[in-house]
Amino acid sequence: MKYFVQVDGEEFEVEILEDGRVLLAGQPVHADLVQVHEDLYSLLMDHASYELMVERGEKGYRVLLGGVLYNVQVEDERRRRLLAGRSKPAAPVGDMHVKAPIPGLIVKVEVEVGQHVRADQPLVILEAMKMENEIRAPQAGIVREVRVSPGDSVEQGAVLVVLG
Amino acid sequence: MKYFVQVDGEEFEVEILEDGRVLLAGQPVHADLVQVHEDLYSLLMDHASYELMVERGEKGYRVLLGGVLYNVQVEDERRRRLLAGRSKPAAPVGDMHVKAPIPGLIVKVEVEVGQHVRADQPLVILEAMKMENEIRAPQAGIVREVRVSPGDSVEQGAVLVVLG
Amino acid sequence: MFRKVLVANRGEIAVRIIRACQELGIPTVAVYSEPDRLALHVRYADEAYYIGPAPATESYLRMDRIIQVAKEAGADAIHPGYGFLAENADFAQACRDAGITFIGPPPEAIRAMGDKVQARRTMMAAGVPVVPGTAEGITDEEALAAAETLGYPILVKAAAGGGGKGMRTVHSPEELPRALAAARREAKAAFGDDRVYLEKLIHPARHVEIQILADEHGHVIHLGERECSIQRRHQKLLEEAPSTAVDSDLRRRMGEVAVRAAQAVGYTNAGTVEFLLGPDGNFYFLEMNTRLQVEHPVTEMVTGVDIVKEQLFVAAGRTLRWRQEDIRMKGWAIECRITAEDPFNNFLPTGGKVTYLHEPSGPGVRVDSSLYGGMEVSLHYDPMVAKLIVWGETREEAILRMRRALEEYRIGGVRTSIPFHIQVMHNDAFIAGRLDTRFVERLFAEPNTLPREPQVVAVAAALIQRERERRTAIRLKPHRRLPSPWRWAARLEAVRP
Amino acid sequence: MFRKVLVANRGEIAVRIIRACQELGIPTVAVYSEPDRLALHVRYADEAYYIGPAPATESYLRMDRIIQVAKEAGADAIHPGYGFLAENADFAQACRDAGITFIGPPPEAIRAMGDKVQARRTMMAAGVPVVPGTAEGITDEEALAAAETLGYPILVKAAAGGGGKGMRTVHSPEELPRALAAARREAKAAFGDDRVYLEKLIHPARHVEIQILADEHGHVIHLGERECSIQRRHQKLLEEAPSTAVDSDLRRRMGEVAVRAAQAVGYTNAGTVEFLLGPDGNFYFLEMNTRLQVEHPVTEMVTGVDIVKEQLFVAAGRTLRWRQEDIRMKGWAIECRITAEDPFNNFLPTGGKVTYLHEPSGPGVRVDSSLYGGMEVSLHYDPMVAKLIVWGETREEAILRMRRALEEYRIGGVRTSIPFHIQVMHNDAFIAGRLDTRFVERLFAEPNTLPREPQVVAVAAALIQRERERRTAIRLKPHRRLPSPWRWAARLEAVRP
């Protein structure tokens, strides 16, 4: 089976043969991966020893290796063939929900409905762990909704602002 | 429910009421036991803090606390009532199987069938971990069977000698 | 010595203090809140008392309850650790009134240093250099005028503050009103007091502090400096001792000033005098932390003095066991604060269950930790869950040792600051010892220079994905035998290139 | 310095050596057998090569394969650790022939010390005192006669021996034939050589050894002594430095003799000269271990010298970084060997899976360990899985620190020697420093004096039993809601006595 692996946007083709042999971009590599515990893996690749922490998310894997974080998506050849007929998935459209990353208290709301915001512009100030945390816009857009007011307590994951 | 707990042969009566209160020999104690992980427990008893390693065996519990090992059997009042009509369980009768505590190689057999042995007398010499280990008689008796010969490889739990 | 010591804290510092007591043969009493029932400090102490639900105001900040527990348990001394009640003069006074020794300075010294403006005045009178600034409790209008006189950039600080809370840097008059408002809000929330004051910003500055020990018989010594410039939003992340900016002459001068500062307020027990060290070698008193510091271990590693044990001796009325001339710094120590924060997501605090834990050890490595396998990291408390400290003969050895220790540290289930520290240990400016309080800001502005191995990650991810698919396939065909163990070997020599 | 170092070992010592290399910036190559794929040394090294199945003769003892891996990986040096190939002169020679540096003494020195009888002769010629005894390879009849001359008790020892294998103590002529037979059998099995010899038993004796460091430029120094009297069946269980029986004068004299012993065989690198120290202060050469010792960390803790790094420097041809007068012992260090053996069942080796692991840490604690959560402890190798080492300002502090560290150490799923060490740390003779090689024998003859808490155990067992019954009951009534978390609180203040 062939896998197309996106590592921080860079694509690698990894083929795993039925007998366990591994080809990276068509070249054989000697790869031995063993799970140590849940998210912890040991990989020996051409005798080099690596330890990886692998978190599974909705969109793929979040891999930590040697202090560097990699965001990884894996697609196998069957799935790629299935999708080949269709157009490439477009950039995300529709509204973007900005959520509270931790539970806390809304101290201040910095934007109003209808306002244009730049990427990284502060939207809301959330107090948690006794510190004020600025919640910033993940991308540019227009504020469609503001769902919180100063003094509100919010749970983790609560939608604070909707950008369009 | 009342529990009769034998700790290294000494009996303690522990009553656990429906509401969770605990009485030790009829006296209330403030006891809060929480499992940390599998065999590891934290107990707060009248505010004193203890950590116990508890292994479950066939015959009861093997408890390690502060470097001391306790062999523990627990019987609840229902079971005790059931057994009350019967005579006390007699001392073990019948044959005693002396087993290999670790896998290894039989180096020497020190006894013969028919021989009287004292408790703690060497029966067999088992080489394991490159050391010779003397397997001794757990109690006095007569050698009924010798199931191994020098040169035999034995698995853990293999019967070496039967005492009667 | 004390009959029994109550530790009025949680986390790694409670464990640290309990260990010191055990090593002196003193029984200990822990207190704990609802989520801390299984915390290491509860399990390691001789006795433990429940004091309330998770919020600190209902448990670890309940002076009345803690003193009541001390009485009930027969404890004749209380160690407050850091944070919570450690710099609360009322608590120190309440202990004294209850006939219990507060293991720390007298309430008068806490008060004298606790009010930042009064402390400045006292220090100026004692001949201790201070950063130019304003009086406390100024209005926004006064602040605008004072800032013009001092010259930008300036710092807005909370009068009752500490630990970076209620503190803001301001570069221009336009930013000032917003910064004042934010600082007042934070200060109000954290301390119930929204008074602020201004200070000239020394730039580029290092944050260098001097550890003090003082007994009740008039002896005050210092244990040299700690370099604490690596901070994010005024929170220290990483400390070392000694500092690459301090030579023996500067150490002696800063030490003498720090001793004078402690003497000026009748200080006893352990404390820390924080200085800003300017690029010209001038240093300015910032504040005195009238308690044990988080970063005390780096000083212990280079001086061989066990600061917590010394606190216990001194609080019991003993004479300091060390004279100034006995104190020598040997080698180099570095501490990384391991926090449950995601360095790849703006250091947001992360909770969760610790599913796997493997802490580093071996020569020259010390871990002061509150972690255990199965622990639920609570968002109710400070995100610092452990401290990794190393010692080396030289700074180079300490850095290499810290790298290997960080690489060995495995915490499953909770995101931590470990990758941040790995990055620092490979940063050229850090390795060269070129530090100031803007270090972290610059670090985040630069691209990460750690070697990237995307092809390794790609192969691992493909193998993991294949196994997931295989498991799914096996679940659909329950009669097929599950291969065990979970493993793929591609060891056939034939495929080797 | 070396380009790349291959570590020809496993377990904690492989980890120890890899850490030292990492801290010097030297890449490392691990080798591993089938069951060791996930061992820490494999995961911590830069590279790892599979060398064969579990039995050591097919993996860690395969000289040819190890040298082949070194060549393939481009390693220019091999560290043998201890055990396996560490004292194998043929291996040292094979490395030399392959152009690879053997990190240890030259093969000639290994040979000279490896043959116990030749070593005795060499030592006597060099003026090193030795225990009276016979030549090697004596017959049983010769042994009986010689024993009469030497006087009982005597020791039967294997000519090719080491580590207590093939060794027996004999108190009377009647016991001798059986002891000779057993010693020959063990020696044959372990070394393929059943020759034995006799030695007078010094009694009561301490086992005290001197650590040596020697470079290739004629410098030999010693790092003081280690006390290793706490042994069971000639296997060391616990070591300390310094020894309570050695003052500075005796240390100087033993050190000088040890240096002379090393010089007599042209020794280089790290080594240890073992002595028996009699009650009269006389000491006798026992043997020289021509390798790194298990217990080297206690010397590191009191001298500040990193012995493994020094081995690497010296093997690379550098001059020793220390002169004899630079070496000072500071404080006290104790090491407990943590083995997978059941101290409540005659120290029988125990295998199994490590289901929970929490290793101690904090000030003054070092753990050199091969353990990790999920590890399968294999019966194929030495049962020592970790070493717990503490340092204290004084011996008393070291003992108290060791107690708390042992109490913190939690290994689930595998029985270990930890309870034995707790008992030692509470033993009056140990605390008083009254040690000799019969210490363990006496300890087991005495009743355990640790405080017993049967009532605590009874309450815990009843609560656990109730929970088991409740769970069973719940399984029978699936609609009843399972109380969660698994916990019983009896906190109602009403029940407090």
Interface predicted TM-score (ipTM) of this complex, two decimals: 0.85
In b/e form, how buried is each residue of D180-194, taking b as 16+ CB within 10 angstroms?
Answer: bbbbbbbbebbbebb
* Alpha-carbon gap, residue C82 to C70, rounded angstroms: 18
Q: Which of B123-137, C322-336, C483-497, D311-325 has the lowest mean pLDDT?
A: C483-497
Flag whether pLDDT at B88 surpasses 60: no
The stretch B91-98 carries a mean pLDDT of: 68
Using CB atoms, which chains have 3+ pairs under 8 A with A? C, D
- Encoding tokens for residue C261? 């500062």
| pLDDT tens per residue across span D283-338 | 999 999 999 999 999 999 999 999 999 999 999 999 999 999 999 999 999 999 99
- Encoding tokens for residue C18? 């309990």
Q: Is the minimum CB–CB distance between A85 and chain C shorter than 8 Å?
A: no
Whether C291 sits among the annotated catalytic residues: the reply is yes
| pLDDT tens per residue across span B25-64 | 999 999 999 999 999 999 999 999 999 999 998 779 999 9
Instruction: Give the pLDDT band (50/70/90) at residue C32.
Output: very high
In b/e form, how buried is each residue of D121-148, taking b as 16+ CB within 10 angstroms?
Answer: ebbeeeebebbebbebebeeeebeebbe
Burial (CB count within 10 angstroms: exposed 0-12, middle 13-18, buried 19+), residue A120: exposed
The stretch C325-350 carries a mean pLDDT of: 95
The stretch D416-435 carries a mean pLDDT of: 97
Which residues in chain C touch residue B36, judged by CB atoms under 8 angstroms apart? 38, 43, 372, 374
Which of A34, A43, A44 is best to mutate for the D interface (most D CBs within 10 A)?
Answer: A44
- Encoding tokens for residue C14? 């409670």
Q: Which of C16, C111, C291, C401 is catalytic?
A: C291
Q: Is the minimum CB–CB distance between A10 and chain C shorter than 8 Å?
A: yes
CA distance B144 to chain D (A): 25
In a domain, residue D429? The reply is yes
Flag whether pLDDT at C491 surpasses 60: no
Contact D387, D337 (CB under 8 A): yes
Phi–psi pair at B70, nearest 5 degrees: -125, 135
Q: Kindly report the CATH number assigned to the domain that includes residue C159.
A: 3.30.1490.20
Q: Which of A81-90, C162-171, C382-391 has the lowest mean pLDDT?
A: A81-90
CA distance A50 to chain D (A): 7
State which H helix or E strand residue C329 sits in.
none
pLDDT of residue A85: 61
CA distance B73 to chain C (A): 25
Contact A7 C182 (CB under 8 A): no
- Give the total residue count for chain C: 497
Flag whether pLDDT at D488 surpasses 60: no
Flag whether pLDDT at C495 surpasses 50: no
pLDDT of residue C281: 92
In a domain, residue C40? The reply is yes
Q: What is the percent of chain C with per-residue pLDDT over 70, rounded to a whole number?
A: 94
pLDDT of residue C255: 98
pLDDT of residue A130: 63
Looking at C427, C445, C463, the residue that finishes a domain is C445
The stretch A61-86 carries a mean pLDDT of: 88
- Encoding tokens for residue A58? 């909705």
Same domain, D356 and D229: yes
Contact D392 C23 (CB under 8 A): yes
CA distance C495 to chain A (A): 6
Closest residue of A to D375, CA-based? A36
Tally of structural domains, chain D: 3
Same domain, C87 and C138: no
pLDDT of residue A120: 76
Mean pLDDT rounded to a whole number for chain C: 92
Q: Kindly report the CATH number assigned to the domain that includes residue D277.
A: 3.30.470.20
Compute how many other C-beta atoms are within 10 angstroms of the C-beta atom of residue D348. 19
Nearest by CB: C404 against D19, D359, D367: D19
Q: Is the minimum CB–CB distance between B131 and chain C shorter than 8 Å?
A: no
Same domain, D298 and D213: yes
Contact C183, C156 (CB under 8 A): yes
Which of D425, D426, D444, D456 is best to mutate for the B interface (most B CBs within 10 A)?
Answer: D456
Contact D261, D271 (CB under 8 A): no
In a domain, residue C408? The reply is yes
The stretch A40-68 carries a mean pLDDT of: 95
pLDDT of residue C489: 37
Mean pLDDT rounded to a whole number for chain A: 88
CA distance A20 to chain C (A): 5
* Alpha-carbon gap, residue C446 to C443, rounded angstroms: 5
- Encoding tokens for residue D16? 């120890």
CA distance D27 to chain B (A): 33
Flag whether pLDDT at C470 surpasses 60: yes
Q: What is the number of CB-based contacts under 8 A between chain B and chain C?
A: 30
Same domain, D194 and D224: no
Q: What is the percent of chain D with per-residue pLDDT over 90, rounded to a whole number?
A: 82
Flag whether pLDDT at A22 surpasses 50: yes
Same domain, C234 and C321: yes
* Alpha-carbon gap, residue A56 to D496, rounded angstroms: 48
Same domain, D210 and D195: no
Closest residue of D to B101, CA-based? D348
Same domain, D180 and D51: no
Looking up tokens 């830069």 gives: D46
In a domain, residue D25? The reply is yes
Contact A48 D47 (CB under 8 A): yes
Contact A47 D49 (CB under 8 A): yes
In a domain, residue C467? The reply is no
Contact D44 C403 (CB under 8 A): no
Looking at D200, D224, D248, the residue that finishes a domain is D200
Instruction: Give the pLDDT band (50/70/90) at residue C315.
Output: very high
Instruction: Give the pLDDT band (50/70/90) at residue C436.
Output: very high
In a domain, residue D120? The reply is no
Flag whether pLDDT at C190 surpasses 90: no
Flag whether pLDDT at C192 surpasses 90: no
The stretch B105-129 carries a mean pLDDT of: 86
pLDDT of residue D116: 79
Same domain, D192 and D242: no
Contact B48 C47 (CB under 8 A): yes
Same domain, C239 and C184: no
Q: Which of D16, D291, D366, D415 is catalytic?
A: D291
pLDDT of residue D163: 65
Flag whether pLDDT at A4 surpasses 80: yes
* Alpha-carbon gap, residue D476 to D462, rounded angstroms: 21
Instruction: Give the pLDDT band (50/70/90) at residue D490.
Output: very low
Which residues in chain C touch residue A41, judged by CB atoms under 8 angstroms apart? 460, 464
In a domain, residue C350? The reply is yes
Same domain, D162 and D76: no
- Give the total residue count for chain B: 164
The stretch A24-36 carries a mean pLDDT of: 97
Which residues in chain C touch residue B66, judged by CB atoms under 8 angstroms apart? none
Q: How many CA atoms lie within 13 A of D359 on its CB side?
A: 26
The stretch C232-250 carries a mean pLDDT of: 96
Which residues in chain C touch residue D397, judged by CB atoms under 8 angstroms apart? 23
pLDDT of residue C487: 38
pLDDT of residue B82: 78
Q: What is the number of CB-based contacts under 8 A between chain B and chain D?
A: 181
| pLDDT tens per residue across span C49-77 | 999 999 999 999 999 999 999 999 999 99
Instruction: Give the pLDDT band (50/70/90) at residue D484.
Output: very low
| pLDDT tens per residue across span C95-137 | 999 999 999 999 999 999 998 778 989 999 999 999 888 888 8
Pairwise pLDDT comparison (B140 vs C18), residue with the higher score: C18
Flag whether pLDDT at C231 surpasses 90: yes
Q: Is the minimum CB–CB distance between C451 and chain D shorter than 8 Å?
A: no
Q: Kindly report the CATH number assigned to the domain that includes residue C59.
A: 3.40.50.20
Flag whether pLDDT at C476 surpasses 70: no
Contact C309, C269 (CB under 8 A): no
Domains, chain B: 2-83 (3.30.700.30), 96-163 (2.40.50.100)
Flag whether pLDDT at D164 surpasses 80: no
Domain residue limits at C424: 206-445
Contact C73 B47 (CB under 8 A): yes
pLDDT of residue C162: 66
pLDDT of residue C85: 97
Contact B51 C43 (CB under 8 A): yes
In a domain, residue D430? The reply is yes
- Encoding tokens for residue C322? 């060390």
Instruction: Give the pLDDT band (50/70/90) at residue D258.
Output: very high
pLDDT of residue D476: 53
Instruction: Give the pLDDT band (50/70/90) at residue B136.
Output: confident
Which residues in chain C touch residue A63, judged by CB atoms under 8 angstroms apart? 457, 460-461
Same domain, D237 and D360: yes
Nearest by CB: C43 against B32, B42, B47: B42
Look up residue D103 and give its DSSP letter: S
Tell how far CA C131 is from the center of its chain: 24
Pairwise pLDDT comparison (A139 vs D85), residue with the higher score: D85
Looking at D149, D180, D200, the residue that finishes a domain is D200
pLDDT of residue C474: 57
pLDDT of residue C280: 87
Which residues in chain D touch residue C49, judged by CB atoms under 8 angstroms apart? none
Closest residue of B to C43, CA-based? B49
The stretch D458-486 carries a mean pLDDT of: 68
Q: Is the minimum CB–CB distance between C42 and chain B shorter than 8 Å?
A: yes
Q: Is the minimum CB–CB distance between D218 and chain C shorter than 8 Å?
A: no
Pairwise pLDDT comparison (D438 vs B156), residue with the higher score: D438
Q: Is the minimum CB–CB distance between A34 and chain D shorter than 8 Å?
A: yes
Nearest to C89 by CA among C126, C63, C117: C63
Instruction: Give the pLDDT band (50/70/90) at residue C473.
Output: low
C-alpha distances in Å from residue C129, one per residue of C210, C258, C273: 14, 10, 12
The stretch D122-141 carries a mean pLDDT of: 92
The stretch B78-82 carries a mean pLDDT of: 82
Which residues in chain A touch residue D30, judged by CB atoms under 8 angstroms apart? 49
Put simply, whether the predicted model's pTM sits higher than 0.90 gets the answer: no
Contact C495 A34 (CB under 8 A): no
Nearest to C26 by CA among C55, C47, C54, C50: C47
Instruction: Give the pLDDT band (50/70/90) at residue D478.
Output: very low
Which residues in chain A touch residue C457, judged by CB atoms under 8 angstroms apart? 5, 7, 52, 63, 65, 70, 72
Q: What is the percent of chain B with per-residue pLDDT over 90, rounded to a whole number?
A: 52
Same domain, D325 and D241: yes
Flag whether pLDDT at C452 surpasses 80: yes
Mean pLDDT rounded to a whole number for chain D: 92
The stretch D269-274 carries a mean pLDDT of: 98
Contact A40 C412 (CB under 8 A): yes
pLDDT of residue B93: 53
| pLDDT tens per residue across span D438-470 | 999 999 998 888 999 999 999 999 999 999 888
CA distance B153 to chain C (A): 27
CA distance A59 to chain C (A): 13
